[in-house]
Amino acid sequence: EVQLVETGGGLIQPGGSLRLSCAASGFTVSSNYMSWVRQAPGKGLEWVSVIYSGGSTYYADSVKGRFTISRDNSKNTLYLQMNSLRAEDTAVYYCARVRYCGGDCLDYWGQGTLVTVSS
């Protein structure tokens, strides 16, 4: 059974850093594309980043230069390193597995972890 479990969220001051983790089971993270998607409180879904199986990475303009997606193959875990955090980064962050649907659709999602950026 495919499972994704995010951890690492919490309250952080503006300008601070946080690293989110997404532990996967039931499949191999390194053999798949993986994404992060976030949802601000009461708002819609916003794609954040993707890492391809070959290691290529892409980011939304809103986080480019501040966030870094990575993975640890030995731990079968996906990460999102978030630096220079801003109030507008406050959101529930979901990791999701990308499936090839002619392109990248998201077939399994974690339960999400809440990041609150506030002083």
Partner 1 sequence: DIQMTQSPSTLSASVGDRVTITCRASQSISSWLAWYQQKPGKAPKLLIYKASSLESGVPSRFSGSGSGTEFTLTISSLQPDDFATYYCQQYNSYPVEFGQGTKVEIK
Helices vs strands, H then E, count in the chain: 0, 11
Q: Which of these ranges, 9-17, 25-33, 81-89, 106-114, lies near partner 1 under the rule CB under 8 A?
A: 106-114
Question: Does 105 engage in binding with partner 1 (CB under 8 A)?
Answer: yes
Q: Which of 5, 21, 46, 66 binds partner 1 (CB under 8 A)?
A: 46
User: Helix or strand or coil: residue 97?
Assistant: strand
Rg of the Cα atoms in the chain: 13
Q: Which of 60, 70, 76, 83 binds partner 1 (CB under 8 A)?
A: 60
Question: Does 2 engage in binding with partner 1 (CB under 8 A)?
Answer: no
How far, in Å, CA of 49 to CA of 9, rounded? 17
